[in-house]
């Protein structure tokens, strides 16, 4: 975190001199928590704010926009769009920078921190907020954002976690990184972990009875937790998944937020973003208890849709030499489905979901750490391949997105497949 102190302090001082602020952020869990951190810090400093949460940064977002404005969880890869905004502009992001920004910015990549694995946009926003006043209680939101981007509590995230525990913002205990509630209900509806029993009442009951688990998950004994954890790890390994560490381990309980279970809050915020009610999620981050009911309702609907779309992936997944892909239409959460697929179903190759939606093809691509360690860089592959067919793309080495014209899917996939093969093949030769 100390590496970010200098740019964070510079941005904090500049923002504190403003009388008002536009906040533009991404509409997923990391983006919503990023906006929540900045908005809370602005409010405490007596600065008026107007927040807007969007699916992507495009020309329509910056049209007629004037500073002072802060872009959260976006902007580092699109300096041309950011430069169109007159007035004071700030970029608080964790995506790998492309080109050069002409405004004040803060990004973990600029100081040698991996923004794909070790620090999210919400963590970067927290670095700024902690320079704006006594805001250590907002560290819990930074951790929720990191969890939303599937990041581990390592590197800068670990530093934030330690600061959050010391400041009383969170409590950490061993357990399952799942929602609270009756074990039968939780496992029947769970999308994390995505098990072969999910959605099947009889199979879930048989699984839990077989290991002697019943009642509230948050209240089971240490012996029951050990049995359940072992059974889950074995089940995931049998499915070919190596994502057990994302389910069993340190459980974060939020002491300053209106939702205590961090995993539940992640699902709520992602649901609000995907169901086009991100403002409800931001209200939750502003600690309004009246948002809880609406967020839980959105979460239930979101999980049902996700499970339906996972079944579409299982039935329609295709493969090329170096990648797997799904061609779909009007999916609600292609990125989430791609993430679940790479973690629990198809872990040996990058997975792309191509979703024909609103007159274009939107792509969500996901890899994993083993693939990145072999040389995979989805950000480069999607950016260059999308540009080659008249689209645009970018993101992280492990997770990236793009949008391309309808009818260019085959050319796009062929180039991505070639590039991924070159990336991984080159790494193997170098080794």
Q: Does residue 279 share a domain with residue 193?
A: yes
> By residue range, what is the domain housing residue 94?
2-167
Q: Return the pLDDT at 416.
A: 97
Q: In this structure, how many other beta carbons lie within 10 angstroms of the beta carbon of residue 11?
A: 24
Residue 122 domain-assigned (yes or no): yes
End-to-end CA distance of the chain: 32
Assess whether 184 and 160 both reside in one domain: no
CA 396/CA 306 separation, integer angstroms: 23
Q: Closest Cα to residue 108, out of 55, 162, 156?
A: 156
What percent of the chain shows pLDDT beyond 70?
99
CATH of the domain at 412: 3.10.310.40
Phi, psi torsion values for 397, nearest 5 degrees: -60, -35
How much is the average pLDDT of 53-78?
94
Residue 84 lies in a domain: yes
Instruction: Supply the pLDDT for residue 425.
Output: 83
Q: Which pLDDT tens digit goes with each residue over 218-232? A: 888 989 989 999 999
pLDDT at 369: 86
Residues 154, 43 share a domain: yes
Does residue 395 share a domain with residue 276?
no
Domain count along the chain: 3
Q: What is the DSSP letter of 367?
A: -
Give me Rg for the CA atoms of the chain.
Answer: 21
97 and 152 fall within a common domain: yes
Q: Are residue 40 and residue 137 in the same domain, yes or no?
A: yes
Residue 185 and residue 152 share a domain: no
Report DSSP state, residue 336. Answer: H
Provide the pLDDT confidence category of residue 273 given band limits of 50, 70 and 90.
very high
Q: What angle do CA 257, 259, 262 make, to 5 degrees?
A: 95
Please report whether residue 136 resides in a domain: yes
Report whether 286 contacts 40 (CB < 8 A). Answer: yes
d(C-alpha 431, C-alpha 425), whole Å: 10
Q: What's the average model confidence in pLDDT over 328-346?
A: 90
3-state DSSP call for residue 221? coil
What does the pLDDT average to over 191-215?
91
Shared-domain flag, residues 153 and 199: no
Question: Which residues, other chains included, contact 166 with Cβ-Cβ below 8 Å and sequence gap of 6+?
Answer: none
167, 193, 209 — which closes off a domain?
167
pLDDT tens-digit series, residues 7-63: 999 999 999 999 999 999 999 999 999 999 999 999 999 999 999 999 989 999 999
339 with 377, same domain: the answer is yes
């Amino acid at each position: 975190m100390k590496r970010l102190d200098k740019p964070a302090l510079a941005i904090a001082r500049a923002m504190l001199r403003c009388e008002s602020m536009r906040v533009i952020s991404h509409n997923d869990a990391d983006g919503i928590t990023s906006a929540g951190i900045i908005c809370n810090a602005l409010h405490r400093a007596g600065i008026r704010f107007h927040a807007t949460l969007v699916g992507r940064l495009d020309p329509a977002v910056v049209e007629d926009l004037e500073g002072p404005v802060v872009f959260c969880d976006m902007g580092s890869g699109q300096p041309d769009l950011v430069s169109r905004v007159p007035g004071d502009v700030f970029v608080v992001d964790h995506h790998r920078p492309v080109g050069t920004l002409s405004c004040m910015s803060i990004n973990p990549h600029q100081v040698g921190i991996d923004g794909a694995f070790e620090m999210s946009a919400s963590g970067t926003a927290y670095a700024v907020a902690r320079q704006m006043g006594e805001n250590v209680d907002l560290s819990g939101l930074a951790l929720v954002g990191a969890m939303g981007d599937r990041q581990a509590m390592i590197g800068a995230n670990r530093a934030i976690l330690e600061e959050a525990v010391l400041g009383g913002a969170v409590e950490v205990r061993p357990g399952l990184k799942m929602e609270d509630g009756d074990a039968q209900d939780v496992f029947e509806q769970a999308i994390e972990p995505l098990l072969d029993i999910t959605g099947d009442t009889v199979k879930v009951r048989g699984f839990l009875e077989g290991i002697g688990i019943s009642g509230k998950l948050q209240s089971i004994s240490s012996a029951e937790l050990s049995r359940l954890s072992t059974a889950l790890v074995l089940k995931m390994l049998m499915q070919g998944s190596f994502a057990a560490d994302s389910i069993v381990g340190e459980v974060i309980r939020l002491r300053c937020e209106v939702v205590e279970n961090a995993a539940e809050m992640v699902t709520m915020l992602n649901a609000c973003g995907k169901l086009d009610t991100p403002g409800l999620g931001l209200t939750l981050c502003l600690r309004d208890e009246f948002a809880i009911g609406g967020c839980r309702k959105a979460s239930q609907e979101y999980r049902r849709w996700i499970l339906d779309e996972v079944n579409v992936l299982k039935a329609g997944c295709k493969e090329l030499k170096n990648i797997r892909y799904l061609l779909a239409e009007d999916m609600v959460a292609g990125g989430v489905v791609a993430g679940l697929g790479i973690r629990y179903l198809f872990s040996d190759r990058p997975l792309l979901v191509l979703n024909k939606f609103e007159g274009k093809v939107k792509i969500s691509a996901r890899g994993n750490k083993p693939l990145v360690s072999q040389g995979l860089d989805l950000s480069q592959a999607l950016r260059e391949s999308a540009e080659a067919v008249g689209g645009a793309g970018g993101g992280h080495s492990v997770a990236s997105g793009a949008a391309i014209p309808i009818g260019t899917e085959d050319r796009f996939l062929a180039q991505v497949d070639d590039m991924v093969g070159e990336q991984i093949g080159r790494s193997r030769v170098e080794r």
